[in-house]
Amino acid sequence: MLATSLVALAVLVPALTNAAAVVPRADPCAAIANQAFSVPSKALACLKSFPFNETLRQNVIANIAGVFDFYTFEDFYLDSPPPFQESTANIRAEIARINSTKFETDYDFNRAVYNFTTKLNDGHTRWFPNCYTSFQNLLPAPVVTLEENGVQSVFVAPDSTDLIPLVGTEFTDFFESIGFDWQRLAGARVLEIAGMDAYSYADLIASTESGNYLDHGVRVNSVFSSYRIVDTDFSQRFGDIGGPAFPDRDSLTFKLIPVNSTKAEVVTVPYLADYLGAPFTDQASFWTANCAANDETNGVDLKAAENQRKRQLPRRKMARASIIDIAPSNAVGLPSPFLPTLPPANGSTGVIKSFILPSKKTGVMFVGSFEGDFNQFQTDTDAAIKQFQASGLTHLLIDLTNNGGGFVCLGQFLHQYLAGNTLSVSLISSQWLTLYRL
Ligand SMILES: *[C@@H]1O[C@H](CO)[C@@H](O)[C@H](O)[C@H]1NC(C)=O
Ligand SMILES: *[C@@H]1O[C@H](CO)[C@@H](O)[C@H](O)[C@H]1NC(C)=O
Ligand SMILES: *[C@@H]1O[C@H](CO)[C@@H](O)[C@H](O)[C@H]1NC(C)=O
Ligand SMILES: *[C@@H]1O[C@H](CO)[C@@H](O)[C@H](O)[C@H]1NC(C)=O
Ligand SMILES: *[C@@H]1O[C@H](CO)[C@@H](O)[C@H](O)[C@H]1NC(C)=O
């Protein structure tokens, strides 16, 4: 399609003008090449520059249909029970719809598949086309929900002034260049977003874009900015309003009351798209680096490769179930004023961070993930609980904020360890590992 029209131009134009003839049609990807950040409309223009391709659709649809054949409880989705009705979907009808819809671009097709799988609200069944999840739209005003004098409201994250600079000077320079003062928005009370009550907007995003969790309330949490563990460090997630996956919004309009003001004002906050993909210089190299199937993505018999590996290195297979959040590759640290200042308890160097609250009655275990070092997770749990017990604590808070899962056995391990099951004594030992080998 594209190639054809270029040829037509080359034939027709020279007769009319001279110099203009050799000027190639503007390449929307070349326009943003080598930039860490792009204006969303320009990023989207690059993503939408690849025409729809029926061969690719049939390949993708066949694979998706085949995965659903064995991976999802389709009957559950046909008639999801309360309180999960929001996830109700006729999976086969959706696949048929996407298989017969006329799409303008490859992006639109992939976006339709992304939307459909996202709305199943199951973090284990997602469609992430590397090609099109290569940008994250970032708002210099991520929002949080906080309680003040017993009343809950939405606010621009008060720590924005510390968080936003961590994204980098290229990010902050852009807002300076357009004269947009994001600093003064930090801590503002948000009354409306996109013309809707702020919480209604949060509900809308939780219903249509967040995905990953069957429970609506958990999705509402993911709409807001929050702390989490990436690898073994604290970081701050922008949230699904402040950091959505696609560069398809240029800005978001807030009605808010800035700190130290009593007057509500309407502010339109621009998004800036953060590039997370592989380097490229133009449309063709964007496709090659991020979209095209290659030996690592296609045509490899993974089963044969796996068997080969097994022969070389016998190793245990352990079930894993993780929510995939595309943003961690670009994680921003949690601003230092918000890092816990209490001394960490024993067993806090990995994905678990444990603390003894100043009351000396309550222990907090922030279990950031079930990924990472399988054995360390268990020894860290043991070390923290031993210290809690030695310190005579009577209360334990387990914080699972943004825990995206991981080794299924570690979830079970933690549960049984804390429940005091006699089995827990042996959980740490290799005996348990043998027992639960999958
Ligand atoms: C569609 O994609 C396939 C697979 O990459 C490719 O071989 C084919 O040339 C593409 N068709 C068009 C019309 O670009
Ligand atoms: C999608 O539609 C094509 C015909 O256009 C058909 O051959 C194919 O079997 C369909 N795929 C699925 C998974 O239904
Ligand atoms: C995907 O969902 C978004 C958000 O709800 C919507 O704006 C967009 O139009 C949808 N795209 C397709 C192709 O379904
Ligand atoms: C708000 O007012 C207080 C007290 O005057 C001052 O300390 C603070 O810096 C002001 N905050 C902002 C964001 O203007
Ligand atoms: C905490 O760890 C230190 C260093 O490994 C150890 O000496 C100490 O006994 C541990 N404390 C408790 C209560 O287990």
Which pLDDT does position 121 carry in this prediction?
Answer: 95
Summarised one tens digit per residue, pLDDT across range 192-224 is: 999 999 999 999 999 999 999 999 999 999 999
How far apart, in whole angstroms, are the C-alpha atoms of residue 81 and residue 279?
Answer: 45
Which pLDDT does position 73 carry in this prediction?
Answer: 86
CA–centroid distance for 156 within its chain: 20
Protein residue with its CA nearest to atom 6 in ligand 5: 346
Does the beta carbon of 55 sit less than 6 angstroms from any atom of ligand 4? no
Cβ 188 vs Cβ 155: under 8 Å: yes
How much is the average pLDDT of 297-322?
66
Does the beta carbon of 400 sit less than 6 angstroms from any atom of ligand 1? no
Which pLDDT does position 15 carry in this prediction?
Answer: 33
| 312: pLDDT strictly greater than 80 | no
Protein residue with its CA nearest to atom 8 in ligand 2: 58
What is the band of 428 on the pLDDT scale with cuts at 50, 70, 90?
very low
Which pLDDT does position 244 carry in this prediction?
Answer: 94
| 20: pLDDT strictly greater than 70 | no
How much is the average pLDDT of 298-315?
64
What distance in angstroms lies between residue 344's CA and the mean position of ligand 5's atoms? Answer: 12
Which pLDDT does position 329 carry in this prediction?
Answer: 55
Q: Left if phi > 0, otherwise alpha if psi is -120 to 50, otherwise beta: which for 120? A: alpha
Calculate helix-pair angle for 106-118, 91-100, nearest 10 degrees.
170
Summarised one tens digit per residue, pLDDT across range 219-277 is: 999 999 999 888 888 999 999 999 999 999 999 999 999 999 999 999 999 999 999 99
Of 133-137, 331-335, 369-373, 411-415, the poorest mean pLDDT is in 331-335
What is the band of 380 on the pLDDT scale with cuts at 50, 70, 90?
very high
| 426: pLDDT strictly greater than 50 | no
pLDDT more than 70, % of the chain: 84
Pairing of strands 37-38, 265-270: unpaired
Which pLDDT does position 9 carry in this prediction?
Answer: 29
Alpha-carbon distance values, 119 to 84, 90, 113, 209 (Å): 12, 11, 10, 7
| 139: pLDDT strictly greater than 50 | yes
Protein residue with its CA nearest to atom 10 in ligand 1: 53
Which pLDDT does position 18 carry in this prediction?
Answer: 42
- For domain 135-275, the CATH class is mainly beta
Please indicate, yes or no, whether the overall pTM of this predicted structure exceeds 0.95: no
CA neighbor of 227 nearest in space, from 385, 66, 337, 345: 337
| 156: pLDDT strictly greater than 80 | yes
Cβ 20 vs Cβ 34: under 8 Å: no
| 318: pLDDT strictly greater than 50 | yes
What distance in angstroms lies between residue 53's CA and the mean position of ligand 1's atoms? Answer: 6
Sheet hosting strand 272-275, strand order edge to edge:
37-38, 272-275, 135-138
Q: Which of 346, 354, 355 should be mutated for ligand 5, with most atoms under 8 A from CB?
A: 346
How confident is the prediction for the chain on average, in pLDDT?
86
Cβ neighbours of residue 32 closer than 8 Å, sequence gap 6 or more: 38, 42, 43, 46, 275
Number of residues in the chain: 438
| Smallest-distance ligand from the CA of 346 | 5
| 417: pLDDT strictly greater than 60 | yes
Q: What is the full DSSP assignment across 166-219?
A: HT-HHHHHHHHHTT---GGGTTPEEEEETTEEHHHHHHHHIIIII-S-SSHHHH
Tokens in use for 302?
A: 């993974």
- Which of 161-191 are b and which e, b meaning 16 or more Cβ less than 10 Å from the residue's Cβ? bbbbebbeeebbebbeeeebebeebbbbbbb
How much is the average pLDDT of 165-180?
96
Q: Which atom in ligand 4 lies closest to the alpha carbon of residue 260?
A: 1
What distance in angstroms lies between residue 30's CA and the mean position of ligand 1's atoms? Answer: 21
Which pLDDT does position 391 carry in this prediction?
Answer: 95
Q: What single-letter amino acid sits at 365?
A: M
Which pLDDT does position 399 carry in this prediction?
Answer: 93
How far apart, in whole angstroms, are the C-alpha atoms of residue 368 and residue 231?
Answer: 9
| 71: pLDDT strictly greater than 90 | no
Pairing of strands 226-230, 196-197: unpaired
